[in-house]
Structure 1
Amino acid sequence: MINYKNNVIKLCPIFSIKVACIAILAITNVQANDSTGYIGTGGVAYLKNKNISMHSEDLYISKDKIRVNYEFKNLSNKDITETVLFPMPAVPSFTDSDYADTNATYDNFKVWVNGQTINPDLHVRTFMHPIIVKDGDRTYAEESIDTTEIFKSCGLNEADMMGPWTYQVDTEYVNQQLLDCDSKALDKFIYDKESLYIPWDSQVIYSWEQKFKANTTTKIKHAYTPLVGGSVHLGTEQFKDFCVDDATQRGFNKNGGRPYHALSYILTTGANWAKPIANFKLTVERDSNELVSFCWKGKGKIKKVSPTTFEIKESNFIPTHDFDVAFIMK
């Protein structure tokens, strides 16, 4: 028996990032805050910059759009140029008909700096889980390894590695290239060399060179369509993942559960700056025919500001948790 777990997202009927399962139906989205860093042959590294603070973050989340407005302050007397990274989730190479629309997500990522549109660079990384022996069985390790250079050494280019995002390259073509490749480095990742089933993940990362002028605030905005997972049933075992309240739970128990969509946003990379986020605001908007449920571990209170919109404000915010939200059909 062999078990497979994705390194960034665990796939299951509830599409939470916290629960593993066997059947793949769709993907829970994992988005991320900006961070500074560099892209090297070993993968992506994030830097903690001691001279740049995130003065404010205004984050809007719905099923259809994510928008983020940042204000960064250079605290020093010198201009600083950094590479800003925005990583998309690593998505699996094998999917089925209910999979989220990755093509719509990667192809509409937009960035503005001080009101001017910029065109970020796009990078692609691949990840695989090495085979290990656990309790006498061969299985995949929990942690994945960056295999981008192995893929390239086997003649695969970025367009090939982006197949799970663009749908323009067949997964079986990529896997056949890996099977035909004379690379000992691949041996620890391939379970059956007679099978075209070779699980690997593809990650898209956007980057751009950003000058932060001395003692000046730089405004950065980006917007995109999120990857959204979903299921026909939100089970009781997943209530804690989205902090479903008692009243909603009673409704589920009476009516046998409800269909829902879900996504997850990585907030914790927002801690990679010089100071806590001075002003943080999160807005969550649902459709009129939905309920929305999520957990919040900060000090800020959840406020309903319209029939379909909820808001949280924090001061001197250090993000120590990520954000999972479920949009549940009434």
Structure 2
Amino acid sequence: MTALALSLCAPARANDSAAALDAGGLVLVRDPDITLASEDLRIGLDRIAVDYVFRNGAAAPKTLRIAFPLPAIDGAQLSMSALSLPFKDRANFVGFTVRVDGVPVTPHLEERAYLGKSEVTGLLARHGLPLNPLRRRDVEAALKRLAPAVLRELETAGLIAEAKADSEALWRSEAKFHWEQTFPAGRELRVSHAYAPVKGNHLLAADEAATPAYRARYCLDDAGLAGVRRLIAASPMKEQGLTRAVEVPYIVTTARNWAGRIGRFTLTVDKGSPNALVSLCRQGVRKTGPTTFVWEAKDYVPDADLRILIVSNDDALLGIR
């Protein structure tokens, strides 16, 4: 594991901390004729973009359903978190877009809500409530329109913490984009998608960064730990011995849904500023620019999801308000 002094889902550490939410690549039903010739993955603080090249080895076209699962949103776990969705006023809260051979595709969004194992999609829709519990402004506006008796019913059912318009929403939403895609026989098909990551952030002290668990989670080597200490020494919070860290999640292992190995896999990570520090668990990472790092593999079988750690004293760079 190498960190060139250069994350995924982590618990909130302080009142102004926020946990990252897992997301990743496209998923389709495994088919023996559809292979992934290449995948180019670019991860930044505000945008993740992926370019795939698929090949259909069959003698005839094949039509399969492709899906992009959105991160699950659990109101009971996240209601007190400082987590802010990239697009908090819409069902497509990560701004997902997709193109096939350069042409925009409008996928179908399937959104459902649950309380424990019970589905409550219809109940929430009947009362005009958004299915995503972290659309806080929309949830409050919908609750304000409801009669007190209905609010009490929702509280009794465990959907809201209190029978009030500003109550925490306690249900869980699960959503995915999907569309049917035809793979032409004997030729390559290019699929590209992009979205804004739901990254997490936490205050970071040198003692925490030095713990074996933290170092192992982000593959933070001695040079990286020294870099964290330098940032703390120059931090506006240096008297408290703190700097700020962000985790950017990406699920790589969904690529196992394709038949066989990935012919060529290229990962590019952009830390956003030369003064920031980035750490990730991959061997042989190359620095290719003031802020960019590249890792490449051939005949790649994804074996571990990515945890990208970026540390900086610049809150604006990290998107912290």
Query: So what's the TM-score if we normalise by structure 1?
Result: 0.73
Deviates more, 1:302-311 or 1:234-243: 234-243
Shift of 1:301: 1.6
**What's the counterpart of residue 224 of structure 1?**
195
**What's the counterpart of residue 268 of structure 1?**
253
Distance 2:21 2:268 in 1: 17
Q: 1:208 to 1:178 in 2, by over 3 A?
A: farther
**Pairing partner for 1:313 from 290, 296, 302:** 296
Shift of 1:106: 2.5
**What's the counterpart of residue 291 of structure 1?**
277
Residue pair 1:25, 1:95 contacting (<8 A) in 2 also: no
Residue pair 1:52, 1:74 contacting (<8 A) in 2 also: yes
**What's the counterpart of residue 90 of structure 1?**
72
Q: Give unpaired runs (5+ residues) of structure 1.
A: 1-14, 37-46, 130-144
Distance 2:14 2:114 in 1: 20
Q: Give unpaired runs (5+ residues) of structure 2.
A: 1-6, 234-240, 314-321
1:274-328 C-alpha deviation (Å, 9 max, x unpaired):
11000100000112221111112xxx62111112110011101111210010111
Distance 2:100 2:125 in 1: 37
Q: 1:127 to 1:317 in 2, by over 3 A?
A: farther
**What's the counterpart of residue 217 of structure 2?**
241
**What's the counterpart of residue 109 of structure 2?**
122
Q: Does 1:210 align with 2:181?
A: yes
Distance 1:159 1:217 in 2: 43
**Pairing partner for 2:20 from 28, 38, 63:** 28
RMSD: 3.4
Distance 2:261 2:135 in 1: 34
1:35-73 C-alpha deviation (Å, 9 max, x unpaired):
11xxxxxxxxxx322221111100000001111000011
Q: Which has the higher strand share?
A: 1
Which structure would you say has the larger RCO, counting Cα contacts within 8 Å and 6 or more residues apart?
2
Q: 1:101 to 1:182 in 2, by over 3 A?
A: closer
For 1:26, the aligned partner's letter is: A
Shift of 1:97: 7.5
**What's the counterpart of residue 93 of structure 2?**
106
Number of residue pairs aligned between Structure 1 and Structure 2: 282
Residue pair 2:66, 2:181 contacting (<8 A) in 1 also: yes
Residue pair 1:51, 1:75 contacting (<8 A) in 2 also: yes
Q: 1:217 to 1:322 in 2, by over 3 A?
A: same
Residue pair 1:29, 1:262 contacting (<8 A) in 2 also: no
Distance 1:157 1:119 in 2: 28
For 2:17, the aligned partner's letter is: L
**Pairing partner for 1:180 from 153, 164, 173:** 153
Shift of 1:248: 2.6
Distance 1:79 1:53 in 2: 14
Q: 1:211 to 1:16 in 2, by over 3 A?
A: closer
**What's the counterpart of residue 265 of structure 2?**
280
